[in-house]
């Protein structure tokens, strides 16, 4: 069974940084691209970033380009999202999801950007 478990969320001040992690199991992690998707409180879904299988190709939504970096460690079945220069509008639950078509999602981790 595909399982994705996110961690690393928390409260951070505007301008601060946070690193999210997602550990995958139940499938061959290195075979799939991986995505991050976020959901602001009471709002809809917004895709954030994607990384291909070997980490050589990335895409980001414009609002996070230059501030967020997606990466992975295939030996540890792990996906990461380094978030710098955080803004209040980055406050959201962040989900990792398998592949470009978002086959399966984790339970999410809450990031709150506030002073």
The contact set with other proteins (CB under 8 A) reads 35, 37, 44-47, 50, 59-62, 95, 100-108
Q: How far apart are CB 46 and other proteins at their closest, in Å?
A: 7
Kindly state the smallest distance separating residue 23's Cβ from other proteins, in Å.
Answer: 15
Would you state the structure tokens that stand for residue 81, as one six-digit string? 């999202």
d(CA 2, CA 103): 9
* DSSP designation for 13: -
Q: Which is nearer to other proteins, 12 or 50 (CB)?
A: 50
Q: Which is nearer to other proteins, 11 or 45 (CB)?
A: 45
- Between residues 47 and 77, which has the closer beta carbon with respect to other proteins? 47
Dihedral angle, C-alpha 56, 18, 94, 90, nearest 10 °: -110
Q: State residue 3 phi and psi, 5-degree precision.
A: -135, 140
Nearest distance, CB of residue 76 and other proteins, angstroms: 22
């Amino acid at each position: 069974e595909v399982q994705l478990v996110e961690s690393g969320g928390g409260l951070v001040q505007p301008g601060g940084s946070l690193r999210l992690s997602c550990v995958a199991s139940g499938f061959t992690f290195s075979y799939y691209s991986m995505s991050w998707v976020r959901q602001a409180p009471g709002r809809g879904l917004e895709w954030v970033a994607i990384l291909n299988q070997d980490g050589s190709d990335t895409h980001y939504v414009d609002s996070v380009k230059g501030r967020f970096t997606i990466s992975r460690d295939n030996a540890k079945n792990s996906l990461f999202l380094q978030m710098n220069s955080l803004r209040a509008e980055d406050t959201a639950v962040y989900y990792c999801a398998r592949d470009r078509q978002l086959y399966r999602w984790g339970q999410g981790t809450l990031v709150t950007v506030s002073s």
